[in-house]
A and B are shown apart, each in its own frame.
Chain A
Amino acid sequence: MKRLLRVALGILTAIGGFVDIGDLVTNAVVGSRFGLSLVWVVALGVLGICLFANMSGRVAAASGRATFEVIRERLGARAGLANLAASFLINLMTVTAEIGGVALALQLASSVYYLLWIPVAALAVWLVVWRVRFSIMENVTGLLGLTLVIFAVALFLLKPDWGSLAGQLTPAVPEQETVWTYSYYAIALFGAAMTPYEVFFFSSGAVEEGWTVKDLLQERINVLVGFPLGGLLSVSIAACAAVVLLPAGISVTSLSQVILPVAEGAGKIGLALVLLGIVAATFGAALETTLSSGYTLAQFFGWSWGKFRRPAEAARFHLSMIVCLLAGIAVLATGVDPVLVTEYSVVFSAIALPLTYLPILIVANDPQYMREHVNGRVVNALGMVYLVIILVASIAAIPLMIVTGAGA
């Protein structure tokens, strides 16, 4: 029974922790402008993240080392430094977007201007990183994030025309959009689903929680059941937008538009649940990205790291995270729209994906670290296919950004 509870907890936390501000915003934008014609990208991204999260968890469980530690050892200082620079900057952008997301959701709940919530949100993130135990942090934010299932509930309550919704699933460019904006948003959605920080966080978290080879089965279940269900959540966000906002000619540019379909279908209770869910999911993601910034820096330079250590025993690790949070506050204090930061962060995540995933594929094939747990042939084949997809998306992103004016 206890074992079953642990499995359930793992899956539920994975579902609730899957969605972050990038998924919320990008899926809503896509649903309001393209209907469900880009859902195939979500499926592609979910499969990709399942593949690579599984791989990086296996690396951590088999070798006892987190992925970024091994990147420097395997690829050398120069490639590792380039990888670090790109990953760290994009991580920082994502931290900023997540904290902005928490503040925006709190503004919707309270009517207090979001800029006033930003220092509060950042301080709360820091306090949890400073004091709260890793497993408690993951479980609480993951379970609370499950309330986002209200998107699926609201979708049913809206009683949409299921036939025409299903008809939208075919990958076709809607008439009011161009093939360029379609491709641009396909890349954005892909980057939102395959967030790079997830992989760093997942493998470092495996070391934090002391996973061994015995835990590999649990980890596989978490990923293979939890992430696809999380992907279904993302699709329901897009579907809600497609049912309520698309027919009204509304294209999503703010968080308030994302929640309107839920209020439409489920009233004030739905509104309360969705705001709770957004705060929990973005707060959890803010924690994960902040920790990822610390992990990547500490693992590259060989600093002592980990939430399982006293802060005094991992001083530079904690200091770097404090600096990241301060940088995030500074960027948001300039008044830049957090939704805009989010939209850029998912596209830049897509651009950085090859840097993140290629090393994982290399390390997961190295018998010196993995011993008998190296990748099988199927996993390697899938990994190579995804590497090609990731490279195509990464190379096409910037030209498309220029041609479409960042999706306008």
Chain B
Amino acid sequence: MLANPAPGPAGRSTHPGRTNVGALAPAASALLGVALLTGCSSGITESVSTAVKDSSSAVATARIALRQDMAGKLTRAATSTTLDDGLKELQSSRSTVLKLSPVTTVDRGTQRQALDALDQCAAGFATARAALAAGDGGTPSLADGDKALADAQDVLKQLESTVASP
């Protein structure tokens, strides 16, 4: 014999007076979140320096990969995948910088400088990938690719220092 019957569907008790207060809380926290997020971005220097950091990481990775390929430590497949991954990273940084809306002349100059530096990086990647496709002893050589990337890396370092100390 059963002690209690099956628990039936629980009646949903409504508290009409509570709904107004309940609706305010999520709205308030949303506003706070928006304020927090917008407060975090301070002009375009933040975004540009992030883009520069990501791109120099990609360029440094590509240089290591090329060096290892020249030393016979990396297969062609792995090197080309590494370069492709680096290029993708670079392209996403470039599109972030492109989408910025600078207001002051200084900011516009920074954006232009950043785009030029990133274009040079992209050119370096192109040389490196062409070198990889050309194979051993072709032109451009892997060393040429490395040189192009090294030059791009220097430009990025210069840009980093100008952005850091405006």
Interface residues of A (CB under 8 A from B): 107-111, 244-245, 248-251, 253-257, 259-260, 263-264, 267-268, 271, 275, 402-403, 408
Contact = CB atoms under 8 A, between A and B. Distances in A.
Interface string B73-91: 1111110111001101100
Contacts of B120: none
Given A264-B68, A271-B74, A408-B50, 4 more contacts: A250-B57, A260-B61, A263-B73, A268-B74
B121 interface: no
Given A249-B57, A250-B57, A109 B68 contact: no
A256 B60 contact: no
Contacts of A263: 68, 73-74, 78
B85 A259 contact: no
Contacts of B33: 402
A264 B85 contact: no
Nearest to A256: B82
Given A251-B57, A254-B85, A264-B73, A108 B78 contact: yes
B78 A256 contact: yes
Contact of B89 (A253, A260, A264): A253
Contacts of A244: 64
B65 A260 contact: yes
B61 A257 contact: yes
Contacts of B56: 249
Nearest to B50: A408
A268 B81 contact: no
Q: Which 4 A-B pairs have the closest CB atoms?
A: A111-B77, A254-B85, A256-B82, A267-B73
18 contacts: A108-B81, A110-B77, A245-B61, A248-B61, A248-B64, A249-B53, A250-B60, A251-B54, A254-B82, A254-B86, A256-B65, A256-B81, A256-B85, A257-B82, A260-B64, A260-B82, A267-B73, A268-B73
